Structure 1
């Protein structure tokens, strides 16, 4: 099999500086053109799901700040990854332009060529090794950001001050919060028994609301900056809460105004991420338990997101405490508990109970007598087949 270094490949360009917006437009065989330093796991998995031929990155897919998982996921999936093409990438390439890739060279039809760095397993492993050396500095920054967030949002974290009044009744009900993140599709499938039995309040965080719809459910609340939710989902009837800046600016409200949905929407000014304020809101409004799908739960995931705001996610989990449960833990509790043998015994018990009920009625007794006579006739006919015939020796 020929390698990307030996064989030229061709495809149309699809441009998007924000990876999560680009993935909605990608088709199999397209070439994704992005500007994403330190591609994280979630972005890489979203790209792989769309089956692009290649990913061209204006920035470094691994800058060396921390060992991010995205580049390895892309290359493992057979996606060509060319790095560090520079800011001129978006000036040279236009949407839909035909591109030819040969090694680390990108030839743009009618507009010259650009040279970048073709990534493979060896180069990615080297980049990750270098990045691991700087991991201690990232841990220091994470701690600093955590302290900064705690000082800024102590009223919200400690007393719930600033949480808006909402129409959806959450008090003493389970809440499911869905983020389009780590293994969210698999988790939603395994949670079907929990959803059927408990009917929780469902909160979709930005694109997580689309994931809820795709899984066959409807969100009760959509919360976030509204930049990665489809128009159809925004119109599904869910209560809309826009994550706003602390100074009151709410860019997401502008999009809702264009759709005519801003009149009943609520702004929630807060630092941190949208998934954080979704959890804080559910907790403040009295949720009995909060089940998280696709959210960040480990140190690796916090760092893999690669932004300072992840310190708020850490503190949010400390604030909610034992009320927060990861989706995978809930799915283990709702696995099939009844064996096939137990189901068979249950069926037999049901038949015996039905027979006893019939025997207690005159009609049932007549039915059993007729069945008994029929069984005697069948048994007599069967034994007659083996009885010796007259005259046989």
Structure 2
């Protein structure tokens, strides 16, 4: 056997996880370049939920963080989500790894060490479920200070965006009619595809305006729905989904720059920009509210206390809080809608009722001597009714 073959086999037998390195200090830029099997190398203190969800969706083989993924300021959710998905996380390796490693380098992660071939280039802490749980307990002590910072950020955000939040100034016009209609907003949160499946009957009955936010737009398209409005960075949305959407709204920075707009133009798809400092989820909710939606049902949008503190971007926390205050009673969680909309009569009971009615009719026909033809007609009618009942469930 050739020496190269022996080396390849030896590398293959080494313990740990291997993959191609994708390196970037900015998580947003890194996420757009990831492919399944890559090892993401980033520098993010307190790895937040949204970044972790994007890494899981990208199907990375591992994550190397130059900074601590849990600093102790508050119990952030990112590390826990990565480990639940079976993605190893090597933490706190130092910023030197960002200079040492180049895109395309083949890495191996094992026992907290980062290897290139037979050379160890960095070492940190490989997180486990136990280490993350212990760190989260300690981090809860930092929530009081985080809440104070959150309050100050909320006041500052309201000063900066009060015209948008209070009066809807700056919300773009859309052609899809929304006024006095229900709106279903689907974002890429945990188990959002499962939540969407549970809303099939609701969608069939009420025909809400379907708004897909970034990964949520792809989920709508994959489920067989045509998104009426797509909100988010087009670089993170599939081409077929973008072409299927009726309208595309691209969030823009306050200076007017809109990431992903060039891709939309290259595809020949019309789009409008939405200049604001909030995240795409919040902009989708404000869009629905400003155009007169009667009810806004959400899928994949979580907004508990931990989620408010875990957004990872200082401007989006107040945006999320104030947006939900703005919508008030119009905003309903999709899980609650699915629970309330379940059929109160089971399929079995409905079939038995129909069967009883048909049997009574057949018996009456037989006794009256009308003939077998009418019996056959009754049986065919019963079968049609059963298929109709199945379509309701």
- TM tier relative to shorter chain: 0.7 to 0.9
Distance 1:91 1:351 in 2: 79
- Any residues of structure 2 matched to 1:285-304 within 5 Å, and which? 285-304=291-310
Any conservation in 2 of the 1:26–1:50 contact (CA below 8 Å)?
yes
Distance 1:23 1:245 in 2: 18
- Any residues of structure 2 matched to 1:263-274 within 5 Å, and which? 264-274=270-280
Aligned to 2:186: 178
Any conservation in 1 of the 2:23–2:103 contact (CA below 8 Å)?
no
Aligned to 2:260: 252
Higher Cα Rg: structure 1 or 2?
A: 1
Aligned to 1:321: 328
Question: Over aligned residue pairs, what C-alpha RMSD do you find?
Answer: 2.9
Distance 2:257 2:29 in 1: 22
- Other structure's SS at 1:235 match: helix
Instruction: Determine if the alignment matches structure 1 residue 334 to structure 2 residue 341.
Output: yes
Instruction: Determine if the alignment matches structure 1 residue 282 to structure 2 residue 282.
Output: no
Any conservation in 1 of the 2:91–2:126 contact (CA below 8 Å)?
yes
Q: Which range moves more in the overlay, 84-93 or 227-236? A: 84-93
Any conservation in 1 of the 2:183–2:208 contact (CA below 8 Å)?
yes
Q: Is there any run of 5+ residues in structure 1 with no aligned partner, and where? A: 1-6, 372-393
Shift in Å, 1:201:
0.7
Aligned to 1:166: 174
Aligned to 2:236: 228
Instruction: Determine if the alignment matches structure 1 residue 9 to structure 2 residue 16.
Output: yes
Shift in Å, 1:255:
2.7
Do the aligned partners of residues 266 and 9 (structure 1) sit closer, same or farther apart at CA in structure 2, a change above 3 Å counting? same
Counting matched residue pairs gives 358
Distance 1:231 1:218 in 2: 13
Calculate the TM-score normalised by the size of structure 1: 0.81
Shift in Å, 1:220:
0.6
Calculate the TM-score normalised by the size of structure 2: 0.81
Any conservation in 2 of the 1:225–1:244 contact (CA below 8 Å)?
no
Instruction: Determine if the alignment matches structure 1 residue 366 to structure 2 residue 370.
Output: yes
- 1:187-227 Cα deviation digits (max 9, x unpaired): 11111111111111111112221121122211111112333
Distance 1:20 1:215 in 2: 28
- Other structure's SS at 1:8 match: coil
Q: Is there any run of 5+ residues in structure 2 with no aligned partner, and where? A: 1-13, 376-393
Instruction: Determine if the alignment matches structure 1 residue 157 to structure 2 residue 161.
Output: no
Counterpart selection for 1:66 from 62, 66, 74: 74
Q: Which range moves more in the overlay, 265-274 or 30-39? A: 30-39
Aligned to 1:374: none
Any conservation in 2 of the 1:92–1:111 contact (CA below 8 Å)?
no
Distance 2:74 2:338 in 1: 32
